[in-house]
Amino acid sequence: MPERLGMAVAVAGDIPFRWSITMTRLRFPPLALAAAILSMGAMFGASAQSAGAASATAGTSATKPAARALAGADRHFVEKAASDGMAEVELGQIAQQKASDDQVKQFAARMVQDHTKANDELKQIASGKGVQLPSGPDKKHASEARKMQEMSGADFDRQYAKHMLADHKAAVADFEKASKSGKDAEVKAFAEKTLPTLREHLKMAQALNDAGKGKAKKTGS
């Protein structure tokens, strides 16, 4: 057997490795030598596979699209709908305490229930889009709520019905626009889903407002 044995070992990938085994004064049985060579080959092969998997994972992460930001109109709609929805819940809670008419109280309970549900759905959508929603009603609705707190009896009932009619006319218009011209699919779907409930609220508010006017004529107030 020669004093030095040169052997080239090729592994997966583009970088070859040369392994020179010096056998000066050493003698290995052929089977042991073959086993050593196979073991080294398996080790280098596993390393190449791990590197390839890491490269593929990095490539996938690099091409994964980021969450799409909301367009200006969609963002404005989401923020306004959230603020208005919180105002409906707040006024509904006040009406449940201050209203004198049972129909007004029932309507108010429905407003709290439906708008709380819609607000929760809107929060989930906004969170996924990276939109920070208002923490409460806008200044206009907050001012109205403070004024309503000072009222009671039939005066409260009429004023609440009047607010609900005006608010739901505006809400239906906003949601109709978003359902037709919204750019974001989730926002548009939310508007379409919520619109029938708002239209029902509008009809109820109109009936409540008409009933309040009728009572006012009878009492002369």
Residue 200 predicted with pLDDT over 50:
yes
More confident residue, 201 or 36: 201
Number of CB atoms found within 10 A of residue 98's CB: 20
* Range of lowest pLDDT (40-44, 63-67, 78-82): 63-67
Residue 61 predicted with pLDDT over 80:
no
Residue 81 predicted with pLDDT over 90:
yes
More confident residue, 215 or 171: 171
Mean pLDDT value of segment 102-115: 97
Who's near 156: CB < 8 A, 6+ residues apart? 95, 98, 99, 100, 148
pLDDT of residue 31: 54
The closest alpha carbon to 161, from 201, 211, 209, 105, belongs to 209
DSSP annotation of 75 reads H
Residue 208 predicted with pLDDT over 50:
yes
